[in-house]
């Protein structure tokens, strides 16, 4: 293979530079959003472009074959494009549901039928075991505007916990779980029998602690 004949050795300082630049680009995204008021993906593209230029300068003395395999362009070819398109499609669907008012109607129905905001949030968390938590949280943002639950409200904090952990009830509840099924050859039925009930116990126990903690801190 061509890659086996390429010298990937670089100095420690250059490796550290690329690592710090990559992590810094991710941390810079919320700063970019706050300062420029542009969409976050613009900050990500800015960071990617900066890393592209820096890596090209770092490997400028190498021949074309080596530079090609060490470039950002080569790394981009290994991106899991189907997964990216999956999340893009889900988020576009959520946007369409929000624009047509369906999410607002669903939120109103849940408030009428359930009423308790904690129970509603835990229900949303359990739903993340079937629907990935990323589009689920995006849907919740469309269902409950900031005028109803402002920034820092208990609902958003509790939603972050529920959506982040509720997906563990089923192994298909997150992209990481699906990846683990493929890598470790974990069967869905085996997980449902051996792990799901433990995940549910942990989920409800954590939710109870979260609610009690909120009550104690706001009394």
pTM above 0.75, yes or no: no
Looking at the chain, the whole-number percentage of residues with pLDDT higher than 90 is: 0
The tens digit of pLDDT for each residue in 174-190 reads 667 777 777 777 787 88
Q: 147-182, pLDDT tens digit by residue?
A: 777 777 888 888 888 888 887 777 777 667 777 777
d(CA 6, CA 65): 8
133 near 126, Cβ under 8 Å? Answer: no
pLDDT in tens, 105-147: 777 777 777 777 888 888 888 877 777 677 777 777 777 777 7
Determine the pLDDT at residue 83.
67
CB contact at 8 A, 54 and 47:
no
Helix (H) or strand (E) holding 68: helix 64-69
- Six-digit token string for 181: 């099924």
CA distance 163 to 122: 8
Identify the three-state secondary structure at position 142: helix
Q: Distances from the Cα of 7 to the Cαs of 1, 35, 63, 69, 73, in angstroms?
A: 13, 41, 11, 10, 18
The residue among 151, 184, 78 whose CA lies nearest residue 176 is 184
216 φ, ψ (degrees, to nearest 5): -70, -35
Task: Tell me the two tokens of residue 207.
Answer: 């939710």
Lowest mean pLDDT among 4-8, 60-64, 148-152: 4-8
Query: Alpha helix (H) ranges present in 171-219?
Result: 175-184, 188-194, 196-217
């Amino acid at each position: 293979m061509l890659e086996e004949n390429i010298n990937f050795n670089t100095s420690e300082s250059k490796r550290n530079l690329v690592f710090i630049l990559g992590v810094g680009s991710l941390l810079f995204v919320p700063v970019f959003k706050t300062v420029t008021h542009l969409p976050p993906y613009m900050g990500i593209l800015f960071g990617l472009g900066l890393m592209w230029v820096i890596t090209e300068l770092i490997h400028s003395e190498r021949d074309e074959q080596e530079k090609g395999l060490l470039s950002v362009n080569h790394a981009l070819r290994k991106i899991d494009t189907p997964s990216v398109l999956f999340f893009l499609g889900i988020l576009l669907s959520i946007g369409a549901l929000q624009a047509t008012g369906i999410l607002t109607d669903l939120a109103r129905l849940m408030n009428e039928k359930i009423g308790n905001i904690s129970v509603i949030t835990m229900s949303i968390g359990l739903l993340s075991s079937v629907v990935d938590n990323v589009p689920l949280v995006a849907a919740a943002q469309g269902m409950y505007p900031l005028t109803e639950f402002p920034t820092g409200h208990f609902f958003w904090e509790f939603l972050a916990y529920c959506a982040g952990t509720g997906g563990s009830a089923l192994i298909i509840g997150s992209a990481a779980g699906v990846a683990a099924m493929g890598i470790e050859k974990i069967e869905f039925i085996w997980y449902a029998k051996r792990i799901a009930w433990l995940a549910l116990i942990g989920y409800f126990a954590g939710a109870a602690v979260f609610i009690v903690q909120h009550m104690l801190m706001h009394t």
